[in-house]
Amino acid sequence: MVKPYFISATLVPAFYFMVGVIFTFAPEIPSADLKLPYEKIKIPLLFTQEIGILFIIFSILIRQIYNLSKKVYLLMNNTFKFVLLLSALICPYLYYSTKAPQLLIIFGINFCFIVLLQYEKFRAKKLL
């Protein structure tokens, strides 16, 4: 029997780890993109760094769950899809307020990750 390899266990943590590093160590970049055009209030840099730490922790947890047990990773597939759906749904709301096109790109990436997780779940059910 062939053991399935889940590409999402590499892509999703890598993406969120890179974004988390940028948010943590260069918070000026995302903060400048998310400022409101009609107000002079910026998102505080500390808040942006906290989001970066959250993304790094999320990526490490996903990868560690996969490394410990592929079966547990498959069982948590719906949880990962739910978290990605929540993070994807925030993007159109923020885009409406800020008009930053990067948010639509992140929305698309999160949606692709959800589709990838769903595909891997169906593929794993056929193999197991």
Residue 83 lies in a domain: yes
* Distance of alpha carbon 33 from alpha carbon 43, whole angstroms: 10
Averaged pLDDT of the chain: 87
Please count the structural domains in the chain: 1
pLDDT score at 110? 94
* Distance of alpha carbon 90 from alpha carbon 62, whole angstroms: 21
pLDDT score at 125? 84
Residue 13 lies in a domain: yes
At residue 78, does pLDDT exceed 90? yes
Q: Tokens standing for 125?
A: 């059910």
Range of the domain at 46: 8-127
Predicted TM-score (pTM) of the model is 0.85
pLDDT score at 102? 87
pLDDT score at 83? 92
pLDDT score at 7? 93
pLDDT score at 61? 95
Mean pLDDT calculated for residue range 10-16: 95
Residue 12 lies in a domain: yes
Residue 3 lies in a domain: no
Residue 2 lies in a domain: no
Residue 20 lies in a domain: yes
Residue 1 lies in a domain: no
